[in-house]
Amino acid sequence: MSEPVLEISGLRKYFDVDRSRGGGKVYAVDGVDLSIGPGEMVGLVGESGSGKSTVGKCVVRLLEPTAGSIKIHGRDVTHLRQRSLRHLRRQVHMVFQDPHSSLNPRMQVGAVVAEPLRMHRIARGKDLTRRVDEMLERVGLGPEMRSRYPHELSGGQRQRVGLARSLVLEPSLLIADEPVSALDVSVQASIINLLLDLQRDMGFSCLFIAHDLAAVEFLCNRVAVMYLGRIVEESSREELFKHPRHPYSQSLLSAIPLPDPPVQRERKRVVLTGDIPSPVNPPSGCHFHTRCPVAELPLCRDRDPELIAHHGQGHRTACHLVHADGTAPDITKGAGPLVHHET
Ligand SMILES: Nc1ncnc2c1ncn2[C@@H]1O[C@H](COP(=O)(O)OP(=O)(O)OP(=O)(O)O)[C@@H](O)[C@H]1O
Ligand SMILES: [Mg+2]
């Protein structure tokens, strides 16, 4: 296999909690391994607070990791100092959920898109204008948009500008953190389609952070499921959507209707009760055991499951109840559309 574009090993990010609020640490990311190959689109999914954005921000070094390593094209960038970060900024870009707050309100669209080219002294004068216009065209905006200010754009147009700015340096990796969740449903699909077209055209790799599993299924080749700072399952899109092994992944996916009515009738929608536990004081052993309908005690409470490969297809699961041949408990089997599991 060719060298990964991104290789994350044992990544940890802990935030300190103020003494006035009881002290301690927020274990936001607590041992994440993930790699992304050239041209791969990898989805990162999980409930709110599971640590997805923190992973993304560590990769672009908006946050300094507590431990572990991050390599971009084989080069360790985990603790790069300010000057060396310049090079990283050319290769890796991040787009955010809210295009309104991520664009400078006092800058015209043309200047917003031109800024990275200027900062890295890649183009100026007519060449700069030409490259900005080309990039705007790629994201479906005409050159007349150059002189508009962000508040004069629709949400969808603003996210197009955000994408243009992120991609104008032709990075090899894009971190897209919920790029459509702040948008009107009617424009979400057009931005998702645009992202896929741009990826095919420009060939960058992408970590696509999302709540929307349908978008992940449409866009991504591979999916990683996160729960309380850890990846609990990772596999190809086909495998994950057809045969999720981890009980947490099964509950997430049970919310999506299946196209096959007889199969759908056989399946329960699993609704997990209670919020995700606090990352200040995560449960012992398997972090999911307090909400897992099939947890076996004391095993799941006392022992930390490792993310291990099974089934020989690059499918990895961190669950004591998943066997080496890939057999796993199915928590969605049986009649009835809905089941609540009290913890
Ligand atoms: N700067 C910070 N200081 C302290 N705690 C933080 C900080 N940033 C994030 N956290 C905490 O870390 C945990 C993970 O947050 P993160 O934003 O990575 O989750 P997420 O999976 O992206 O959630 P969402 O789906 O809501 O965006 C949360 O409990 C959050 O409150
Ligand atoms: Mg987030």
Largest CA distance in the chain: 68
Residue 343 has a pLDDT of 40
Distance 279 CA to ligand 1 centre (A): 9
Q: Is the CB of 252 under 6 A from ligand 1?
A: no
The best mutation among 26, 211, 226, 227 to test binding of ligand 1, ranked by most ligand atoms within 8 Å of the C-beta, falls on 26
Report the SS3 class of residue 200. Answer: helix
- How far apart are the CA of 79 and the centre of ligand 2, in A? 23
95-147 confidence digits (pLDDT tens):
998 877 778 999 999 999 999 999 999 999 999 999 999 999 999 999 999 99
The predicted pLDDT at position 164 comes to 97
- Which of 11, 12, 14, 15 has most ligand 1 atoms within 8 Å of its beta carbon, as the pocket-test mutant? 15
Q: How far apart are CA 232 and CA 227, in angstroms?
A: 6
pLDDT computed for residue 86 by the predictor: 87
Say how many C-beta atoms besides its own lie within 10 A of residue 242's C-beta: 11
Which domains occur in the chain, in start order? 6-220 (3.40.50.300), 244-341 (no CATH)
| Residue 258: band (very low, low, confident or very high) from pLDDT cuts 50, 70, 90 | confident
Euclidean distance between CA atoms 251 and 292, whole angstroms: 9
Closest CA to 92 of 5, 178, 172, 10: 172
d(CA 14, CA 47) in angstroms, rounded, equals 18
Q: Does 97 sit in the ligand 1 pocket, CB within 6 Å?
A: no
- Residue 51 Cα to ligand 2 midpoint, Å, equals 7
Beta bridge partners of 196: none
Position 83 scores a pLDDT of 81
Ligand 1: atom nearest CA of 16 is: 4
Nearest Cα to 212, choosing from 223, 202, 204? 223
Fill in the amino acid letter for 221.
Answer: N
User: What is the share, in percent, of the chain residues with pLDDT greater than 70?
Assistant: 95
| Interval 8-22 mean pLDDT | 94
Q: Mean pLDDT across the chain, nearest whole number?
A: 91
SS3 state of residue 142:
coil
Whether the CB of 48 sits within 6 Å of ligand 1: yes
Alpha-carbon distance of 149 to 153, in angstroms, equals 7
User: Quick one: tokens of 76?
Assistant: 């360790």
pLDDT number for residue 82 = 80
Does pLDDT of 267 surpass 90?
Answer: no
Confidence (pLDDT) at 136: 98
